[in-house]
Structure 1
Amino acid sequence: MELRSPGLSMEAREGVPALPGDGDDYESLPAGVSPLTHMTAGAVAGILEHTVMYPVDSVKTRMQSLQPDPNAQYRGVMEALRRMIRTEGLLTPLRGINVTMLGAGPAHALYFACYEKMKTTIGGLINHVGNSHVANGVAGSLATVLHDAVMNPAEVVKQRMQMYNSPYRSMLHCIRTIGRTEGVGAFYRSYTTQLFMNIPFQAIHFITYEFTQEQLNPQRQYHPGSHIASGAIAGAMAAAATTPLDVCKTLLNTQENMALSSVNVSGHLSGMANAIRTVYQLGGVAGYFKGVQARVIYQMPSTAIAWSVYEFFKYFLSKNYN
Structure 2
Amino acid sequence: MRDVQQQLFSGGLSGLATTVSLQPFDLLKTRLQQGDGLTGVPKSGSSIVLRTTREVVSEHGLRGLWRGTVPSLIRNVPGVALYMTSLTQLRGFMATSSHFTSVQQHRTASGRNVNASVLPTLSMQGNLMAGATTRVAVGFLLNPFSVLKARFESNIYAYDSFCGALISIARQGPSELLRGFMASSLRDAPYAGLFVVFYEAIKKESTLLLPPSSAQESTLLHGVSAASAGAIVTLITHPFDVVKTKLQIRTEDRYGGFVRCVRTIWQQRGITGYFDGASLRLSRKVLSSAIGWAVYEGILIVFRPRWSSGSDG
TM range (shorter): 0.7 to 0.9
Q: Please list every run of 5 or more consecutive structure 1 residues that lacks an aligned counterpart in the other structure.
A: 1-31
**TM-score, with normalisation over the residues of structure 2?**
0.77
Q: Which moved more, 1:292-301 or 1:196-205?
A: 196-205
**1:93 pairs with 2:65:** yes
Question: Which deviations, in whole Å up to 9, do the C-alpha atoms of 1:130-173 show, x marking residues without a partner?
Answer: 86536555444332232102332111101111112432122222
**Following TM superposition, by how much is the alpha carbon of 1:98 offset from its aligned partner in structure 2, in angstroms?**
0.6
Task: Return the offset for 1:177.
Answer: 2.1
Offset at residue 316 of structure 1 (A):
0.6
Return closer, same or farther for 1:225/1:120 CA change in 2, 3 Å cut-off. closer
Q: Structure 1 residues 187, 160: CA separation in 2 closer, same or farther (over 3 Å shift)? A: same
Say whether residues 1:143 and 2:115 are aligned partners.
no
Does residue 109 of structure 1 match 2:109?
Answer: no
Q: Is the alpha carbon distance of 1:205 and 1:125 closer, same or farther for their aligned partners in structure 2, counting shifts above 3 Å?
A: closer
Change (3 A) 1:115 1:202: closer
Q: Distance in 1 between matches of 2:247 and 2:54?
A: 27
Contact kept, 8 Å, 1:114 with 1:142, in 2: the verdict is no
Question: Paired residue for 2:108?
Answer: none
User: Aligned partners of 2:80 and 2:59: how far apart in 1?
Assistant: 35
What's the CA shift for 1:58? Answer: 0.3
Q: Report the equivalent of 2:109.
A: none
3-state SS of 2:157 partner: coil
Partner of residue 75 from structure 1, selected from 13, 35, 47: 47
Could you give the per-residue CA deviations for residues 176-210 of structure 1, whole angstroms, max 9, x where no partner exists? 22233x32321212112211112221244334434
Deviates more, 1:45-54 or 1:57-66: 45-54
1:192-243 Cα distance to aligned partner (Å, 9 max, x none): 2211112221244334434443454335534233333222222222222211
CA contact (8 A) 2:8 2:85 kept: yes
Measure the CA separation in 2 of the matches of 1:124 and 1:217. 24
Q: Which residue matches 1:40?
A: 9
Aligned residues: 280
CA distance in 1 between partners of 2:299 and 2:24 (Å): 26
Q: Indicate the residue corresponding to 1:161 in structure 2.
A: 152
| Matching residue of 1:277 | 263
CA apart distance, 1:61:
0.5
1:232 equivalent in structure 2? 227
Give the 3 Å change call, closer, same or farther, for CA 185–80 of structure 1 in structure 2: same
1:62 counterpart SS class: helix
Identity of aligned residues (%): 23
Q: Is the 8 A contact 1:213 1:220 kept in 2?
A: no
1:304-319 paired onto structure 2 within 5 Å = 304-319=290-305
Whole-Å separation in 1 of the counterparts to 2:80 and 2:266? 33
Larger CA deviation: 85-94 vs 289-298: 85-94
1:299 to 1:137, Cα distance in 2 relative to 1, 3 A: closer
What are the residue-to-residue correspondences of 1:228-307 with 2, within 5 Å? 228-254=223-249, 256-257=250-251, 260=252, 265=254, 269-270=256-257, 272-307=258-293
The residue identity in structure 1 corresponding to 2:256 is: L
Q: Provide the aligned C-alpha RMSD in A.
A: 2.9
- CA distance in 2 between partners of 1:227 and 1:50 (Å): 19
* More displaced 10-residue stretch of structure 1: 37-46 or 51-60: 37-46
Match of 2:185 among 195, 199, 209: 195
Q: State how far apart, in whole Å, the 1-side matches of 2:59 and 2:100 are.
A: 60
Describe the shift of the 1:63–1:203 C-alpha distance in structure 2 as closer, same or farther (beyond 3 A): same
- SS of 1:66 mapped into structure 2: coil
